[in-house]
Structure 1
Amino acid sequence: MTTTPAVIDAETCTPSVDYAIGPEAATQVAATLKALAEPLRLRMLSAIATDPRGESCVCDLAELTDVSQPTVSHHLKVMKDAGLLASERRGTWVWYRIVSARKTAVTALLDSFAPASLLAISETEQGRAEALRTMDARVGRLASELADELSDMNRDLVVAIVRESYAGLVRSAKLTQHMIPLAERFARQRLADLSRTKGTAVPQVLFVCVANAGRSQLAAALVNQLSDGTIIARSAGSTPAADVHPRVRTLLADIETPEVAEKAFPKPLTDDAVRAADVVITMGCGDVCPIIPGVRYEDWPVGDPALASDLGVAAIRDDIATRVHTLIATLKN
């Protein structure tokens, strides 16, 4: 028996390839990804990208592994040939730095793609859609209740902030029974930022990284602990993750009470938070923060504890703590 091949109707199947990545660009990107498809190379790239000096000596990078020096040099050469690294010999040793034109791509890889790839998908798309439908009414009730409570503020503003806060969180956060309480906490924080008057309030610091799942959470917790309430620290992410990384949450539990640490969650960056801050400290997010007059800006090039080894996590925590002590001293003077 012969089967007639199915005929595709041109009017119902009109795929467009015009927007696909071009063959030359695809070849170049694939070559770069191939150069990074090795765990040690990724660790080396991360070490170089987060080195406070802006570069790393091959002798430092050799400490990441037990392999021989020639093997270390081989991995570095592969990344250099791929256009990711530049090198300079100084005396006995060679120093490596990220090529300027590739810094944005490296930041996106290490701060967005890598952490996101470690997170498990908690819900199916169908389940997520159903949860969104059932939560809409709850968001409306929350907005109404909060507007009644905060009667000294414009009601429409309160309702808008509640809905915007929920929408900002739901884009990335896990949909659980805790979503409404998280939206309430985020909305209250934003409303407090809107009503804050600089110069008469406790100094406020905003830590910003890409995912708000690691460094920025840790830095804010350390400021709140070490300043003993004399400084308020908050954190946000330019592209917030679904949840705080488990290893970072463990660190938070050592700094704060377990109850407070458990309530930590990634929050999207808002203009309100930047305006309310006296100091904005970026931690690997690039130039995503809006520039607001009167706000002091700093950048802390520290490693990501979510991707570090156990020893690396401790070193990163100590590095941030040292910077926090200096920050607190400057804000108290």
Structure 2
Amino acid sequence: MTTNTAPSSLDACTPTTSAAIDIAAAAKVATVLKAIADPFRLRMLSAIAMDPRGESCVCDLAGLSDVSQPTVSHHLKVLKDTGMLHAERRGTWVWYRIAPARRTAVTALLDGFAPAAVLGEGGADVDPGDRDQASADSWVSHLAEELAEDYGSVDRDLVVAIVRESYAALARTATVTRYLIPLAERFARQRLADLSRDRDTAAPQVLFVCVQNAGRSQLAAALVNKLSDGKVVARSAGSSPASQVHPHVHSMLKGIAGEQYTSEVFPKPLTDDAVRAADVVVTMGCGDICPIIPGVRYEQWAVGDPSLATGDEAESIRSDIESHVRDLLGRLNS
């Protein structure tokens, strides 16, 4: 004879909904999450949040993707309808800023969730050597605190945005994450230095831009730093940066600037603050990707790509770049 025994109170499942988010609140949150669940909208939200002006014009945001102006306006309207953005028309253009009541939420999204999602914490793409590192959001907070002290003239929220965006931008192309944190710190410091730059008193600054920032723009920057003896500051960036400097170019950089300099260079994405800080922007095969900033001079150099050349061809390209650099330095010093 079989005896049925009632489950004890410890074994019985007692469903509860007391800890769940309220139905109405869940519906509202889901609506907002659905609205921002689009790569282009997230990029626009990020660009607006980190804009040093505290707001962005619709004309600035159009450069984030190859879409029409009406499409950009549609995506911005979706974000505005959720309450994430405030909009203000000034003349021809509409300007957007993060709604004050939503800034904390946007910061949490971009500082905490976004870096973790990009890195895939706990996933196969995280290098074993980094498993004992602090989580991305903890690192962002720690470094932001440090940099906020070093760059007191820059708004604290903007410092956090710069650190977060620098980390996430490099993580998108990183093949090994072991050195991601120190590289992101170096990139963030460079960007904050650009934001703090006093154009009237600082040394002339040149920004070289190519596609991958793995070849000609790196060579040009190294040549400027060497030939100007530090009297001209050179930066470089890429419209679609590679994961590392090309091996052929790496060898040439050693010959120009030495082992220490070469060990510290890495491909970096093009940022608006780098363009704004420059006195001269030199494009090298990347088309019209650079935003046009009043007061910045633009030049386009038609030079070969040393990463696609070998031997004598690569050296010829290096010489061509050096010739352009010497001419530029002569004009800057005249």
Alignment TM-score > 0.5, same fold: yes
Q: Distance in 1 between matches of 2:178 and 2:136?
A: 9
Aligned residue in 2 for 1:288: 289
CA contact (8 A) 1:173 1:266 kept: no
CA contact (8 A) 2:151 2:192 kept: no
Deviation at 1:226? 0.4
CA contact (8 A) 1:208 1:269 kept: yes
Q: How does 1:154-193 map to 2 (within 5 A)?
A: 154-193=155-194
CA contact (8 A) 1:243 1:266 kept: yes
Percent sequence identity over aligned pairs: 61
Q: Distance in 1 between matches of 2:141 and 2:175?
A: 20
Please, which of 116, 124, 128 is the counterpart of residue 127 of structure 1? 124
Q: Distance in 2 between matches of 1:204 and 1:151?
A: 22
Greater relative contact order structure (CA < 8 Å, 6+ sep)? 1
- What does the per-residue CA deviation read over 1:152-196, in whole Å, with 9 as the maximum and x for residues that have no partner? 432212111111111111111333321111111111111111111
Q: Distance in 1 between matches of 2:176 and 2:199?
A: 35
- What does the per-residue CA deviation read over 1:12-37, in whole Å, with 9 as the maximum and x for residues that have no partner? xxxxxxxxxxxxxxxxxxxxxxxxxx
CA contact (8 A) 1:235 1:267 kept: yes
Q: Distance in 1 between matches of 2:217 and 2:168?
A: 22
Aligned residue in 1 for 2:277: 276
Aligned residue in 2 for 1:206: 207
Q: How does 1:69-88 map to 2 (within 5 A)?
A: none
Deviation at 1:129? 5.5
Q: Distance in 1 between matches of 2:281 and 2:153?
A: 29
Q: Distance in 2 between matches of 1:173 and 1:320?
A: 28
Aligned residue in 2 for 1:316: 317
Deviation at 1:128? 2.0
Secondary structure at the aligned position of 2:287 is classed as: coil
- Verify: 1:224 aligned to 2:218, yes or no: no
Q: Distance in 2 between matches of 1:149 and 1:202?
A: 20
In structure 2, give the amino acid aligned to 1:165: S
Unaligned segments of structure 1, at least 5 residues: 1-122
- What does the per-residue CA deviation read over 1:42-82, in whole Å, with 9 as the maximum and x for residues that have no partner? xxxxxxxxxxxxxxxxxxxxxxxxxxxxxxxxxxxxxxxxx
Deviation at 1:151? 3.5
- What does the per-residue CA deviation read over 1:223-262, in whole Å, with 9 as the maximum and x for residues that have no partner? 0000111100100000110011111111111111201101
Change (3 A) 1:199 1:148: closer
Q: How does 1:107-126 map to 2 (within 5 A)?
A: 126=123
Q: Distance in 1 between matches of 2:165 and 2:176?
A: 16
CA contact (8 A) 1:139 1:180 kept: no
Aligned residue in 2 for 1:299: 300
CA contact (8 A) 2:303 2:317 kept: yes
CA contact (8 A) 1:238 1:268 kept: yes
Q: Distance in 2 between matches of 1:263 and 1:207?
A: 17
In structure 2, give the amino acid aligned to 1:221: A
Aligned residue in 2 for 1:142: 143
CA RMSD of aligned residues (A): 2.0
CA contact (8 A) 2:199 2:277 kept: yes
- Verify: 1:197 aligned to 2:190, yes or no: no
Q: Distance in 1 between matches of 2:310 and 2:248?
A: 10
Q: Distance in 2 between matches of 1:218 and 1:162?
A: 26
| Higher deviation after alignment, 209-218 or 150-159 | 150-159
Change (3 A) 1:150 1:198: closer
Deviation at 1:197? 2.0
Q: Distance in 2 between matches of 1:174 and 1:277?
A: 30
